[in-house]
Structure 1
């Protein structure tokens, strides 16, 4: 059984590249979101292919290597009975094949005799976020699709297409590539024994976003927010806010992750023209967009479109756009 368990262990690495990680540091929220998305994608794909009783464990090794930001991952079947089932049934996909189907590692890397076939990540890159218009079965394993704005008929493995259409996996992969929203990130690369298996470029990150048809609510408004976490480098990600116009906000803060799109404000933060702390004492008024997606569960995305004012002072004077206000004024 121990030999079987070792045979069902696959180890690979996730490498985050770009200027943002030259110091071997990375925003903790970005890493956590990406790795949780990766774990969810593997576990969900395994459940779809093998049923809910086939449990896969995804573990992070604590080896961060110099010169970049690389995280080692181990994925394996966690229940001996499931491992035995895997080896006794030709209808059960091994953990190797699950990860190969996703496209995290190349077919043939994990086991001898593996057949090369197109993967889920390949399909995302091929479709480029366009809507699938038609599906036609070619045989029991393959279908043919066409997508919006393209006359090409694309042959796709049916298993890969089923994974592509799963809302939970869509959300998970969007989370995997979310660090690429940082303009100083260049790519996310998957490695086995130091050899590149797959690479997702920053310019490809839009291919992994949820389709607009999944949006069930979108609103824009103006409100006051407490800054509970600031990205002092003036980047769009790494910010957390809480609503700051109620007595409740003065006590326990229920904060949430946001993306700040106001480039002028971000530029001021990076140049330290706006002084902000992470102590929950800075209040801003901002125009925001709240988007609610429905996948396996409701997901809410927050974006700050424009910062209208702040109570921070800059070089002993107030910037004309960002007017200072005290908490009691809200």
Structure 2
């Protein structure tokens, strides 16, 4: 068996920790997050060895310190080395998560650092750039990030991200300054309070998706023929013109967009045009419940409700 111990230190700017006190729920949530994160990482990375976590408490003025002792069978070291991943102190799941320092040589080799660089944002694209690394682009960043594939696997694993969020949860307390991980008396990683949002996991899980055909009022148009900048409201009556009930849509019908930009399709400036369209509605959970609307195909347009009745009868029956 191999034992590897990381000191987990919480510092604050209040009196609680100076008295060796910390909220029990905050500490328990964080320690459970650490334990579950390491166990989940061990499972996701499939290193072929069971990981067990033990906790020992110790104190010093101004901080609360817990020893996180992780135990592995010796074959875990060879398994991780064979994957091409090296850590300065010891090759282990602890290092891939980021509780110990890892020299990257331009490659992001820990989950903590990858979250710090991405700020927890969604990955837009990824492609392999070697046997063990990938190039990824994330929301809000124009530069690529080269990341170890093992780290990328953890970043895309829902439970790993949720447990990492729990790990840093004491930083939501305004008195807590940072959480530091220490090995052999040397600081390995420090997560500051102002960085805590980078480690929040926002689910983007789709919970409902449907397609249908309906009538819409165009309450806002993009006369340049771009697929964004449009707003619709449901229906074909004057009530539908109320902009308080409209919503943004993305139009994917390239023929319609081209006709708008070349003025072959005339959309009135007062936002009273009506269309009949095949649309897609997707509801997913992000920071809150979000519904996205996409217009797949515009089946017909008209400028007034009276004309629409004729269009409805003549063109769609």
TM-score of the two chains, using structure 2 as the length reference: 0.58
Alpha-carbon deviation of 1:163?
A: 0.6
State the match for 1:48 in structure 2: 44
Corresponding residue SS for 1:163:
helix
State the match for 2:97 in structure 1: 102
Distance 1:45 1:207, change over 3 A: same
State the match for 1:162 in structure 2: 153
1:9 aligns with 2:3: yes
Contact 1:23 1:68 in 2 (8 A): no
> Alpha-carbon deviations, 1:160-198, whole Å to 9, x = none?
100111111111001001100011111101011221100
Alpha-carbon deviation of 1:87?
A: 6.2
Alpha-carbon deviation of 1:129?
A: 1.9
State the match for 2:19 in structure 1: 23
2:54 to 51, 54, 59: 59
Alpha-carbon deviation of 1:136?
A: 1.2
CA distance in 1, matches of 2:126, 2:69: 35
Contact 1:10 1:96 in 2 (8 A): no
5+ long unaligned stretches in structure 2: 209-284, 287-317
Q: CA RMSD in A?
A: 3.0
Greater gyration radius: 2
Alignment of 1:179-190 (within 5 A): 179-190=170-181
> Alpha-carbon deviations, 1:230-279, whole Å to 9, x = none?
xxxxxxxxxxxxxxxxxxxxxxxxxxxxxxxxxxxxxxxxxxxxxxxxxx
State the match for 2:139 in structure 1: 148
CA distance in 1, matches of 2:52, 2:177: 29
CA distance in 2, matches of 1:18, 1:194: 20
Alignment of 1:171-320 (within 5 A): 171-214=162-205
CA distance in 1, matches of 2:45, 2:204: 26
State the match for 2:291 in structure 1: none
